[in-house]
Structure 1
Amino acid sequence: MDPGVDKATGDAYWRRTSSLMWIMMAIWAIAGFGVHLFATSLNTIVILGFPLGFYMAAQGSLIIFVVSLFWFASRQNAIDEEFGVEEE
């Protein structure tokens, strides 16, 4: 943050950034562990010859990670613009 920014603005910026970080951590935990916990129950559904549990464990969680990274970058840029600390 700019040294000229007051403490209340800096605290508000950090609160928004911190809450976004915790949301991302929850998404990563659910995609990283939650999907794999239910993989065996999803194996009854078969798509293109592969059990859905196998596909979700191998590919689905990676897709969720990539999409969530783009969403995170977009949200963080919006927060940065709101508080006037965006990068060029």
Structure 2
Amino acid sequence: MTSTPLAALLRQRALHWRRARRVTAMLCGLWFLTTVVTVFFARELATLTVLGWPLSFYMAAQGCSLIYLAVIGIYALAMRRADRRFVRAMRGAA
């Protein structure tokens, strides 16, 4: 069975979107866990301190925002890498 350029394109596109969905799902999971853990375990986290502040306060005021920013940055870098890999594969298939 011979592979046509269209079949190669479709395979590469499916692989690209499978990777994109996996990265998105993992980062959404991290975002969800960050939000839920901070709220759900606030009393337990209050017993730990960071620079004199209860960890629950620190996470609500600073930590979660920094994690969300990191999620955005990781997503941008991962998708840039995936897009470049996809473009290279398309140039190779052409």
> Percent identity among equivalent residues?
28
1:37 is displaced (CA, Å) by: 1.3
Give the unaligned 5+ runs of structure 2: 1-5, 89-94
Structure-to-structure mapping, 1:40-79, within 5 angstroms:
40-79=43-82
Answer with 1 or 2: which has the greater Rg.
Answer: 2
Distance in 2 of aligned mates of 1:16 and 1:45: 37
1:61: Cα distance to partner?
Answer: 0.8
Paired residue type of 1:54: F
Question: Does residue 21 of the first structure (1) align with residue 21 of the second (2)?
Answer: no
Q: 2:35 aligns with which of 21, 32, 35?
A: 32
Give the number of aligned pairs. 82
Calculate the TM-score normalised by the size of structure 1. Answer: 0.81
Partner SS for 2:87: coil
Gaps of 5+ in 1: none
Measured on the aligned residues, the alpha-carbon RMSD in Å equals 1.8
Q: Which moved more, 1:28-37 or 1:9-18?
A: 28-37
Task: Report if aligned partners of 1:46, 1:52 keep a CA contact under 8 Å in 2.
Answer: yes
What amino acid maps onto 1:33 in structure 2?
A: V
Superposition TM-score, scaled by structure 2 size: 0.76
SS at match of 1:68: helix
Q: Which has the higher helix share?
A: 2
Q: CA separation in 2, counterparts of 1:33 and 1:70?
A: 21
Shift of 1:53: 1.2
